A and B are shown apart, each in its own frame.
Chain A
């Protein structure tokens, strides 16, 4: 690898990182505004136009605040935990392709994603399973009982819903193998996006959500639970646990947990858009036969991707404003008795249909 290659890789990693930071700042503001609208409030409206700079103001304030060190805390772990929350959240998004690869005149391409691993989906699952360490260690090292309870809840919840999340993704992988040209499985996210190009019956986009709506349902519910969002936010239930795993955290360290949560929401939504909504594929220009100028054709895929992702992000905010928090036993029942059997059933169905499609039905 020479210097140019290295700089190109650095460029796309930095570009992905900056994109993620920008949308996260916007998301915090968007959530407050959207939830305020749904609850007939005004929401933030002081800092900047429509209060859009509110997050920046809050961030700066947290940055300059004192960081309180609890006397009973295990300081090493206590300081480490916020970083453990942020790092996997950012790494997860590095796998998601957020635009059409740029093609140069000499035939080489520049993919618009942090890294294109051929086992991308496995990496995504591994990173989402790492996120629980931050919560558990934060809860344990605080040396206080409410954070510890939050940490215990987080562990049980993460393990329960991770299984459903993984099974939903496996159903997509099996489906993509059946619809690929040579029947080869793929775990690469860019390849999964590429296989969703085209249309069913000439008008319906070839997105996985149509044949795989069951998997999408499971994926979405599990993603909400994995990111510890309402109605599955038992980890940080302010009414029961004073605040949850981050009760003892203040200042910048608290801000990092907050950042990680919003980065995770966007990453999960982006993953949903990639796996189920065709990623950066879009048909508006080709469907109506418009002649799009070159610059527009270059940025449209990124616009499609962001739009689809924001549809899912909006659903995250929407159900937070709508649904009350689940009770703990309800959470466990939903996870183990509904979602996991449902996901296994759906996977079995997908496997049978995919096999028939690939090798013809035994009676045919």
Chain B
């Protein structure tokens, strides 16, 4: 398939537009000088990736991204920002200009690795068709059948991270200190 044939399909224009929007949002996440704006640009990037999933006929994955990432993870980010500091003004230190070249190299390297492995794995095979949604059942069978071990390992790592986070952030109070704070 040549590029002009690819471009003649209107679906691919939509793909390009969404991809450009995601890229723009992603750049603004790291360059924005307002921490709340950065979080909101991350919402934009995630919403764009959900839209790309919809284009790939992966309805379930798309709405799961909206539910889990936009609806819960970023909301938690915002919560964290607001209970610590929520300056409406800009914070110049947020955009670390000295680290930009390194960040660019890392980002490009990650992109190259992902592109290379994807091409290696799928090549020219047709993964999905527009308007022909992947049944959720197929997804469930893949996740709980063939890939059940990686799935469980990821779950275990997340549990470990959770417990580790609590241990690091929380120091057990001595009885005297607890008295001081008052019983809840």
Contacts and interface: CB of A to CB of B under 8 A. Distances in A.
Interface stretch (B79-87, B122-130, B157-165): B79-87
Given A74-B88, A122-B64, A140-B36, A159 B59 contact: no
B71 A130 contact: yes
A133 B78 CA distance: 9
Interface in B131-162: 133, 136-137
A155 B66 contact: no
Interface of B is mostly: helix
B72 A159 contact: yes
B67 A126 contact: yes
A72 interface: yes
Contacts of A74: 88
Contacts of B60: 119, 122
A159 B67 contact: no
Given A119-B63, A125-B67, A72 B82 contact: no
B82 A151 contact: yes
Contacts of A141: 88
Given A122-B64, A130-B66, A140-B36, A152 B79 contact: yes
Contact of B79 (A143, A156, A329): A156
A300 interface: no
Interface residues of B, number: 24
Interface residues on A, range: 20 to 34
Interface string A320-348: 00000000010000000000000000000
Contacts, number: 74
A129 interface: yes
A162 interface: yes
Contacts of A148: 82, 86
Nearest to B50: A126
Nearest to A149: B82
Contacts of A122: 60, 63-64, 67
Nearest to B59: A119
B55 to A, nearest CB: 16
B82 A136 contact: yes
A151 B43 CA distance: 18
Q: Which 6 A-B pairs have the closest CB atoms?
A: A129-B71, A155-B79, A126-B67, A126-B66, A122-B63, A152-B82
26 contacts: A77-B36, A77-B40, A117-B59, A119-B60, A122-B64, A125-B71, A126-B67, A126-B70, A129-B75, A130-B66, A130-B71, A132-B71, A133-B75, A136-B75, A136-B79, A140-B36, A141-B88, A152-B82, A152-B83, A155-B75, A155-B76, A158-B75, A159-B79, A162-B72, A187-B136, A329-B184
Interface of B: 36, 40, 43, 59-60, 63-64, 66-67, 70-72, 75-76, 78-79, 82-83, 86, 88, 133, 136-137, 184
